[in-house]
Chains A and B, each alone.
Chain A
Amino acid sequence: MNEIIPIMVIVPLMAALLISAFSKFNKVTKIFAFVVALCLPLIPILSNYGLHYFGGYQPMLDNVTGVMYHPAITYSFTFLQQIFIAAIGLLTFLVIFIYLTKYKKVSGPYLFLLFLGTAAVTAMILTDDIFHMFVFFEILALAQVGIVAASSIDYSYEMALKYMILGSIGSPMMLLGIGFLLALTGSVNVSDIAAAVHAGLVNATSPVFLLSLALIFFGWLYASGLPPFHTIKSGIYSKAEPHGAALLQSFTVISMISIVLIMFRIYASLPIFEVLIVFFSILAMILGVSLALTQTDFRRMIGFLAVGELGFIGLGIGLGTNFSITAGLFQALNEIIITALLFIGFGAIVNATNEVDTRKLGGLLAYHPKVSIMLLIGGLAMAGVPPLSGFQSKLMLVQASLSCGYPELSILAIMVSIATFVVFVKTYYTMFLKPKPNDLDLENKEVPKAMIFAMGVLLVIVILLGVFPDVVTSGISNFVGGIL
């Protein structure tokens, strides 16, 4: 029993409720939101690993069959959860810091949505209970819709409603899949379900079991924005405020890995499962990069690149060995940091120029040198240039697919990396290096200091992870050894 574990979910949840209730006291709200946001990354770093059983119901051993049952909702907190919750906490802190310094009068509901989303993804990655995960998956979908609808960009309401309609088709399907699993095993605890499947109590080739895989997989595709949902996912990134988009993509990545790890523990014995994941990941990689090449709106371009990077995570998990899953999860951590850096950086450009079309921009290097250098390093990290963090995880992925006996997958991964590099450098050239068009008037607006601070913090993490990847990978590898 570890009493601190639920605090990680309760703190942002309570902060969200309190802020929305007392949002008319502007100054108090600002200080309170700042303090809570500062606590978010510190709590996971300071707390111990362990398990938490809600209500104190310990696991019970059935004396007749010798099977362990988990009657309570269980939160398990290991190195993987620690590192991802710390990452999302840090990102939430930076985003809230940017938001608080940008506006004099803060909006309570918007801060409510940011904290609610953080609480939801934290619970999703902590929980060991598939229905509990589903509940927070729905809360996360509502928070995402709210963050998109709250932005001041044109057509954000339309995008939010579209995302919501797709979501309300996708999430009942996932619930139906959970219902099938419940009918087969009589439990919603992932450890219990996985034990029943491995013990042969469930016929792994029965159509009901396969149907439950298909339905939960559909929900996963919706949650992670893999094809056929890649257009809507990049759409909501481009319609949210830039700092909101930075947080939205981290929500996507964490919900993706938390659902796929649960699916992996249940369905790993089915060969079709890994084929499905690899298939959709490759589709996402190719579609993401090729659609990013055709975009003229650079927010949309980063959105598609983010979808393409999700494919790398899926590829690592789909290959199914210890090394490849470690590589996939490390890639997930890197993507959270790098894509947030890019979204905040391009958001700073939107802030300074009020223009999102790359064709109308140019020559920004002379006006915003700090932002452009940091963006360049972020983009190179995403494309996988040594010694940055993206290089380490992509190298691991290529090695993993080679050692699994799929050299064609590693060639594909390298080609997609090169294409990412091309897309990024092309956009970077038109925005920063090309001579300034005459009709572009830059009224010498300063980029907010908070944005530069946030980018600096993220950049330090990118470089540190690139130089010392072992800090993270050895711990993740231990975790993966536990679930295989």
Chain B
Amino acid sequence: MAEVQLVILFTSVALVVIGLYSAIFLDNIIKKIIGISFIEEGVNLFIVAIGYKAGGIVPILMPGMDTTWFASNAAYPLPFGLVLTSIVIGASTLAVMLALVMVLYRRYGTLSTKVMLADTSKREEYNE
């Protein structure tokens, strides 16, 4: 494993841990959502680092390149393709979550999850 990959591994673990902490422990829903985007970022970073090859080239076959040389020197492009998809999925999930938050803010007037997402079964009994 190249040195760059170790640095990336550390960064992605740190991002996932920061994201998990904020998604579980922070009270503000927007902060939670930012934390979730950090988790996705960390995972994407890890998967891209799998395809990296130390001293390699970008996996684009230009005219005039020898294919055998290219195959042994280019980075592995499969993880890059996966990450492209997962970035877009992450963005769309985040957009849907923010839309739900905006609807719920109109009802509760606060962004605190303690108020917004309190246990509904208990709340129904309280209302009765």
Contact = CB atoms under 8 A, between A and B. Distances in A.
Does A touch B (CB under 8 Å) in the complex?
A: yes
Q: Is the interface of B mostly helix, strand, loop or mixed?
A: helix
A168 B78 contact: no
Contact of A169 (B36, B78, B94, B103): B36
Contacts, number: 87
B50 A138 contact: no
Contact of A176 (B36, B46, B94): B46
A410 to B, nearest CB: 34
A168 B89 contact: no
B23 A165 contact: yes
B50 A145 contact: no
B93 A142 contact: yes
A161 B117 contact: yes
A149 B101 CA distance: 12
B39 to A, nearest CB: 5
Given A135-B85, A138-B93, A164-B97, A158 B43 contact: no
Q: Is the interface of A mostly helix, strand, loop or mixed?
A: helix
Given A138-B89, A157-B103, A179-B43, A164 B96 contact: yes
A176 B76 CA distance: 18
A186 B93 contact: no
Give the most central of A145, A169, A172, A188: most B CB within 10 Å: A172
Contact of B96 (A145, A155, A158, A175): A145
A186 B16 CA distance: 23
B89 to A, nearest CB: 5
Interface string B94-128: 10110011011001000000001100110110000
Given A161-B97, A161-B101, A169 B89 contact: no
Interface residues of A, number: 33
A169 B39 contact: yes
Contact of A182 (B23, B50, B97): B50
Contacts of A175: 43, 47, 86
Given A138-B89, A188-B78, A165 B97 contact: yes
B80 to A, nearest CB: 11
A248 interface: no
A162 B29 CA distance: 11
Given A155-B120, A188-B78, A161 B47 contact: no
Interface string A380-396: 00000000000000000
B89 A135 contact: yes
Interface of B: 16, 20, 23-24, 29, 32, 36, 39-40, 42-43, 46-47, 50, 76, 78-79, 82, 85-86, 89, 92-94, 96-97, 100-101, 103-104, 107, 116-117, 120-121, 123-124
Given A135-B89, A162-B117, A165-B23, 5 more contacts: A146-B96, A157-B107, A164-B100, A176-B16, A188-B78
> Which 8 A-B residue pairings sit nearest by Cβ, starting from the closest?
A179-B47, A155-B120, A161-B100, A168-B36, A183-B50, A172-B43, A172-B39, A138-B89
